[in-house]
């Protein structure tokens, strides 16, 4: 299966900007941005981020507030804080042997940086990779990482796989199957998450008074390091 997959990838692999570099910082930025955010939205923001902060030391020298402002629109803003904290840790001490020691870096992200930046023989297993391995019953080699991600994104999709265009279909025991839709996420409008996002946007002005906002929202943002309160004013961290 590995050979068939890699042959397909040679013809159908996506040309993505983070695949043109082995810089661990650039790979980390891409992986953090891609968490729960579509590739099409990430590409221009990734390029703009690296234009502004091209190295890990450049980001570490910036303020958390600048990182949060630049992140606006990507969602899950805590990722910006963790990315800034990770850059600060690397700038101070270098890349750790265990990348999960960095703020906000879990097992998958650590493995992705190890594989795509440091060229270590490890297969990062995201949702797409796990889905394909479960459906095929096959454990793929580490060289198949990018190919599996593209296959899962474009062919072996969650609900109705496009088996007619799959290079693995001939030997796949799940060929032709359809899958139930995932449980829908609760509505965003009116949600606590929406209120958090709106409060954070208002805090970027620096003149948001505590008395004018939901204290539970402010407390949640403070716990995530996204805002701080001084003299009754809610603002981004200095």
The residues assigned a catalytic role are: 31
How many whole angstroms separate alpha carbon 236 and alpha carbon 158? 38
Please report where in the chains the tokens 């003299």 appear, as a residue: 231
How many whole angstroms separate alpha carbon 99 and alpha carbon 111? 8
How many whole angstroms separate alpha carbon 229 and alpha carbon 225? 11
The 3-state secondary structure of the chain, one letter per residue: CHHHHHHHHHHHCCCCHHHHCCCHHHHHHHHHHHCCCCHHHHHHHHHHHHHHCCCHHHHHHCCHHHHHHHHCCCCCCHHHHHHHHHHHHHHHHCCCCCHHHCCCCCHHHHHHHHHHCCCCCCCCCCHHHHHHHHHHCCCCCHHHHHHHHHHHHHCCCCCCCCHHHCCCHHHCCCCCCCCCCCCCCCCCCCCHHHHHHHHHHHHCCCCEEHHHCCHHHHHHHHHCCCCEEECCEEECCC
How many whole angstroms separate alpha carbon 142 and alpha carbon 200? 40
């Amino acid at each position: 299966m590995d050979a068939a997959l890699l042959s397909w990838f040679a013809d159908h692999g996506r040309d993505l900007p983070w695949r043109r570099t082995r810089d661990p910082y650039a790979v980390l930025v891409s992986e953090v941005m891609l968490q729960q955010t579509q590739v099409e939205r990430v590409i221009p923001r990734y390029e703009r981020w690296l234009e502004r902060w091209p190295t890990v030391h450049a980001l570490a020298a910036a303020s958390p507030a600048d990182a949060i402002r630049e992140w606006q629109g990507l969602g899950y803003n805590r990722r910006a804080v963790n990315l800034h904290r990770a850059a600060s840790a690397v700038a101070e001490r270098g890349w750790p042997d265990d990348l999960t020691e960095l703020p906000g870096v879990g097992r998958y992200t650590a493995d992705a940086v190890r594989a795509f930046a440091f060229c270590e023989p490890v297969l990062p297993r995201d949702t797409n990779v796990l889905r394909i391995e479960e459906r095929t019953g096959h454990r793929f080699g580490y060289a198949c990482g990018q190919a599996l991600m593209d296959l899962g994104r474009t062919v072996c999709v969650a609900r109705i796989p496009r088996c007619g265009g799959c290079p693995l279909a001939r030997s796949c025991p799940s060929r032709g199957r359809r899958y139930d839709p995932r449980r829908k996420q609760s509505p965003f409008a009116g949600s606590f998450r929406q209120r958090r996002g709106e409060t954070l946007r208002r805090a970027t002005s620096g003149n948001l008074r505590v008395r004018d906002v939901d204290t539970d929202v402010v407390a949640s943002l403070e716990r995530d390091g996204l805002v701080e309160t001084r003299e009754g004013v809610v603002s981004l961290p200095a």
